[in-house]
Structure 1
Amino acid sequence: MPIPVRRTRRARLSCRTLVAAAAAALMTALVSPTGAQAQAPVRESKPVHSYADAIRESVWVDTGLDGDGDGRSDRVAVDIVRPREPAAAGRRIPVIMDASPYYACCGRGNEGQKKTYDAAGNPVQFPLFYDNYFVPRGYAFVAVDLAGTNRSDGCDDVGGRSDVQSAKAVVDWLNGRARGYTTRTGSDRARATTWSTGKVGMIGKSWDGTIANGVAAIGVEGLETIVPIGAISSWYDYFHSQGAPLYNANPSWLSEYVNSPEANDRCGAVQDRITTATPYSGDWTRAWSERNHVPDAGKVKASVFVVHGQQDLNVRANQFGQWWDALAARGVERKIWLSQTGHVDPFDFRRADWVRTLHRWFDHYLLGYENGVDREPMADIERAPDRWTTDRVWPPRATERTTLRPGTGTAPGVGTLGRTPAAPGATETFTDDPGLGEIDWAARIDESTAAKSGFVTRPLARDLRLSGSSTVTVTATPSTTTAHLTAVLVDLGPDTIRDYAAAGEGITTLTQRSCWGASTSGDSACFKDTEARTADVDFTVVSRGWADLGTWADPGKGRPLAPGKAYTMTLKLAATDHVVPAGHRLALIVGGTDRGLLDPPPSSSSRGYAQSTTPTITLDLARTSAKLPLVGGADAFTRATAGTDGARLAPSGRALNGVGHPRSNHPVPGEVR
């Protein structure tokens, strides 16, 4: 349930609630067939308006920027569909908005839908179900082409000022603070204040949700709520992790991918500037600060409904974790759904519940209906495929950061994990092998292997729940001038989970369809159904984090290492909510390159130093520890591991999907969507 907010916010909302309640009562009187019904309290918007007869129009909004340097202020294309009846009666309505770079290049949703237009350029198809479902219920749906994409001017700058301003300008226009035009180059004005209440809810998956985060972090008036799905909160952390490069660690290729062909013809200089400003080395620059919304969480005035896949290896779970923690610290109203999927929209893993919940969410925050959605549990967590639990507050109030410590075991690379510090001088050593990764390490957790150091608890006597973000502090001595590190938490024991490594990232798309709203010949409300795609596994990776050891002294600047010298640094692991069942074991693995997810340390680097050998890392166990968010804290860990000596439940080596690392999640151009 959204938490109580600052007093100033409560005062502003209480006033708005009165206004919204009056508007709701008026709406009920106008659409209810009997006087008795007109007296009933309004708790849900109904599909009383014609979707077929809805107004469909395009507007170009002035952003005030000249991203392509042509001497003219860039205008972004805004496609609108809204019910005709309120406009005819002089009533104004709220807006649901999805600002995206993908409407022309790549499509939206599980079926890759794109915008379509008639011969005159008027919008026909709006991707996804938002228009079909909400327009008959008295909302406008607005689909914004980010600068440089589809029918907009300018150049996409991958999360920078142009991206965010593209959407902010539209919110301003809906509130009468910006200029809109009926054509891309003309001077005839288009005004939204005749039909828009100015209340906007932004929604979107991946890049679209990232834009919602960015606009909310400005604190723009009129943005009442955002629903970021699998969204980025810091673009640096999409391409790097504490100095270590992830994937193709430069955003300029994304700009080229989403820009319209004519924009790419004029935006080469912009893309060159992005490349220069966001170096592969992972050093922090002003460009990354511009694309980091976390420090501005205190400016957020909108409520926030976060949705994320805990096994999302595209937009990884650290993105929602750091954003959520920042929002919590500043008292922002918020709610969260965490699934077992990868990069998947909730419409495709929990469809009926999602549509019902989203409907009530928008009704409350945009129409002011007192339907109780703000008093429901804050968190929905998927525990097993299609099995969900709720938490009144997330993380639960009983969660405590608890220090666990690695110790030596019966063989090199096979250690213990508990509360007792290792003896002074105890060490473990591994050699980076870029051909292996977290799945390979976990499958051989009980074997003495050269590529990892593993530390394992006893089999648990009770369930043990992790809820939130973890850190792992290591004191490591490298043999080379550069070294990358990976820390992984693993639940060792058999389970059936969503197969996030397979195509679909945890879902299977079926042939039959179900309908969610009204349709026209050019815009169907019927979408292919899905079901959970599962895998039987012997272990589950719970959380992961990566770092360049060269950032030990300064997270924003890497430095060459002195071989043979010990360095201490803390790795940040992605947020999670996972229950390790009784009978399973919890493992901490420390390794080098996590194949398919982390680039190996280079033989030569843009930082000006080089190496020719593979890093070997020695861990000082007495100065290495993990801080885990355990529900119940240290007492819960002690109870879970007490009296459990005996046969270990060792994984058989069968990895997720019967293969090695889930490489299908390695992004290709456009996969951020």
Structure 2
Amino acid sequence: MKKYVLPLIVLAYTFSVSAQEKAEPWFKDGEAQIVPAFEDAKDWIRTDLWVETTFDTDGDGKPDRMHVDVTRPKQTETDGLKLPVVYESSPYFAGVAPEVEGAFHEVHHEIGALEKEIVHPSVTRRGERPIISNSQIKTWVPRGYIVLHSSSPGTGLSQGSPTVGGDNESLAPKAVIDWLNGRAKGYTTPYGTEEVKAYWTTGKVGMTGTSYNGTIPLAAATTGVEGLEAIIPIAPNTSYYHYYRSNGLVRSPGGYLGEDVDVLYDFIHSGDESKRAHNNKVYRDTEIKNGIDRKTGDYNEFWAGRDYLNDMKPMKAALFMSHGFNDWNVMPEHSYRIYKAAEEMGLPVKIYYHQKGHGGPPPFSMMNKWFTHYLFGIENDIEKGPKAWIVRENDDNGNPTPYADYPNPDAKNVMLHLKATSKNEGMLTAEKTKKQGTQTLVDDYNFSGEALSQLESSKNRLLFMTPILKEDLHLSGLSKLNIKLASSKLAANLSVWMVSLPWNTDKDAKITDNIISRGWADTQNYKSITESEPLIPGKFYDISFDLQPDDQIIPAGQQIGLVIFSSDSQFTLLPEPGTILTVDLDETTLEIPVVGGKKAFKKAVQMH
């Protein structure tokens, strides 16, 4: 009697139909597929609860409880189906503070000057139980996941206080994941004793979110909590120092001049009004006020405690980072530094970079495979192959190009030297020319970096350019400035832009079309970011720092320009114009990461 073996495609089809009839997750091409029985929102079970944590930050003598909502297919109740969880946590779900004049720090003052007190707006909580948020639900519940949301400490109906990066913001999502795995208690009410059990889950959790919501998955992962299998942070803030400071310099995130940790604290503090006075006194007006040190901008214990790079040792979750190279709010170094550390630890890692601004998730298929592999255990090879996926110029964000890693393994640093051609301009060349002397610039925040990059000549900046590129030049990684300078005053801002020239002046062009990278430093921090001291006017100091990471192909016909100026109207404090910076051209260099190294650079600029 002949034995008939069904072709694999038939078997797969039979399995998928069977799975859908049984209302179970099913998979195709390594991805969780939509299950018709899970699609109808009317059949979803939506509840909320409070999970008990291990901390008390609102001072009432009881462990703070986090408000959590759950959305799950009805089959987790009727059929005993157990599913993994996609979890997003946020301080924004319950609303944020209104715009109030004086709520941001004044930036028009001398470096190190005392500042007046800011105004503290109050947040009115919004939202109705049991729904905290609808994010992620339509995407993941039909594909066989349970979706959870929680408000972070001191926001919404979660107890406790915001700390803006303090330990409780890591321990809060940890407690929720512990509850999902039977290690923490959940309750039906904020202060009651009736318990809620998570009997409907496998206990495997994936976290994702954007910006602050992308920071929290990393915060949770640094606790090493069992059950958190995979995270996809999108444009996460991984260090509050790197968000509000830069190499000792007080720097604002792009678009938010004068913001700092205390401003963000007020912005999110939507929790119990009866607890706000205590929270403000203990955290905002004491810990945060004493810690942020806007006078010096130095890195200290306060900032170290809000830098997740320092907390990564326990981490074991698979990490899929996502960021934009032109994100000048949460800058691309935030993802880069964590990605490289996780890679060195031997964790499963991937990174996705696009050429646009803040936000922007990886292609959904990649996210689906990441969670499918780590939460359902489906073999789909997502953890193998290229580690870096980069959207090339003019490509759609859904069409990234794969690379072995980031930075590109073929990138090598090329040292460029400054060669004077006129008073405030010159050339960037791979060949060192001796006795170039010095050039000076005068600080004036009234001229933006964009304007200074385009002016044919200006006393307010120095501009050095490569020859016109005869071939495309691929940059990948970190550029580094090594500069020797003197200031006419005790303190001075230092701002650096790397740009592609000539400037794109089309009416639809964005400023980021010409930005390659940027960097800022406080000249008083020439020794380190933890120690600043007043400069001796006229004395030369050596300062070195990295610019923001980038991966960009500069097209033939363009020139790479280095713009050196002082105060940046979009990012720094803005002292009275007039400070003079003198740059020693012979002792100043720019290192750029060129794919193909010095040979590729020389070929592109037709040097022999």
Match of 2:147 in 1: 141
Distance 1:546 1:83, change over 3 A: same
1:288 aligns with 2:288: no
2:582 to 585, 605, 618: 618
1:564 aligns with 2:554: no
| More moved, 267-276 vs 200-209 | 267-276
- CA–CA distance in 2 between the matches of 1:628 and 1:443? 22
Match of 1:230 in 2: 235
Match of 1:455 in 2: 464
- CA–CA distance in 2 between the matches of 1:316 and 1:279? 21
Does structure 2 retain, via aligned residues, the 8 Å contact 1:115–1:126?
Answer: no
1:402 aligns with 2:414: yes
- CA–CA distance in 2 between the matches of 1:308 and 1:427? 38
Distance 1:206 1:427, change over 3 A: same
1:46 aligns with 2:34: yes
User: Structure 1 residue 199: deviation in Å?
Assistant: 1.1
User: Structure 1 residue 268: deviation in Å?
Assistant: 1.4
Describe how 1:221-620 pairs up with structure 2 within 5 A.
Answer: 221-247=226-252, 248=258, 250-260=260-270, 262=273, 263-269=275-281, 270-272=283-285, 273-280=287-294, 281-346=296-361, 354-375=363-384, 377-387=386-396, 388-393=399-404, 394-409=406-421, 411-424=422-435, 426-444=437-455, 447-493=456-502, 534-535=508-509, 540-600=514-574, 614-620=578-584
- CA–CA distance in 2 between the matches of 1:355 and 1:31? 23
Match of 1:201 in 2: 206
Does structure 1 retain, via aligned residues, the 8 Å contact 2:393–2:552?
Answer: no
Does structure 1 retain, via aligned residues, the 8 Å contact 2:390–2:403?
Answer: no
Match of 1:524 in 2: none
Does structure 2 retain, via aligned residues, the 8 Å contact 1:492–1:538?
Answer: no
Structure 1, unaligned stretches of length 5 or more?
1-23, 108-113, 347-352, 500-533, 604-612, 645-673
For normalisation by structure 2, the TM-score amounts to 0.85
- CA–CA distance in 1 between the matches of 2:463 and 2:570? 20
> SS at 1:160's partner residue?
coil
1:126 to 110, 127, 133: 133
Describe how 1:61-72 pairs up with structure 2 within 5 A.
Answer: 61-72=51-62
Distance 1:28 1:185, change over 3 A: farther
Distance 1:539 1:268, change over 3 A: closer
User: Structure 1 residue 183: deviation in Å?
Assistant: 1.0
User: Structure 1 residue 536: deviation in Å?
Assistant: 6.7
Does structure 2 retain, via aligned residues, the 8 Å contact 1:298–1:327?
Answer: no
Q: Deviations over 1:403-456 (max 9, x none)?
A: 1111111x1111110112241452121111111232012112xx3311111110
Distance 1:322 1:634, change over 3 A: same
Match of 1:657 in 2: none
Pairs aligned (count): 553
- CA–CA distance in 2 between the matches of 1:38 and 1:536? 43
Distance 1:165 1:472, change over 3 A: same
User: Structure 1 residue 340: deviation in Å?
Assistant: 2.5
Does structure 1 retain, via aligned residues, the 8 Å contact 2:501–2:559?
Answer: yes
- CA–CA distance in 2 between the matches of 1:574 and 1:40? 39
| More moved, 373-382 vs 80-89 | 373-382
Aligned AA for 1:584?
Q
> SS at 2:205's partner residue?
strand
> SS at 1:543's partner residue?
strand
Distance 1:217 1:51, change over 3 A: same
Match of 2:114 in 1: none
Aligned AA for 2:276?
N
Distance 1:134 1:249, change over 3 A: closer
> SS at 1:429's partner residue?
strand
> SS at 1:299's partner residue?
coil
For normalisation by structure 1, the TM-score amounts to 0.77
Aligned AA for 2:175?
A
- CA-based RMSD: 2.8
Distance 1:236 1:298, change over 3 A: same
User: Structure 1 residue 30: deviation in Å?
Assistant: 6.3
| More moved, 247-256 vs 464-473 | 247-256
Does structure 2 retain, via aligned residues, the 8 Å contact 1:426–1:620?
Answer: yes
Does structure 2 retain, via aligned residues, the 8 Å contact 1:494–1:536?
Answer: no
Aligned AA for 1:554?
S
> SS at 2:537's partner residue?
coil
> SS at 2:56's partner residue?
coil
- CA–CA distance in 2 between the matches of 1:537 and 1:212? 31
Distance 1:599 1:303, change over 3 A: same
User: Structure 1 residue 127: deviation in Å?
Assistant: 2.9
Misfit runs of 4+, over 4 Å:
24-30, 37-43, 494-497, 536-539
Match of 1:647 in 2: none
Identity of aligned residues (%): 32
User: Structure 1 residue 303: deviation in Å?
Assistant: 1.6
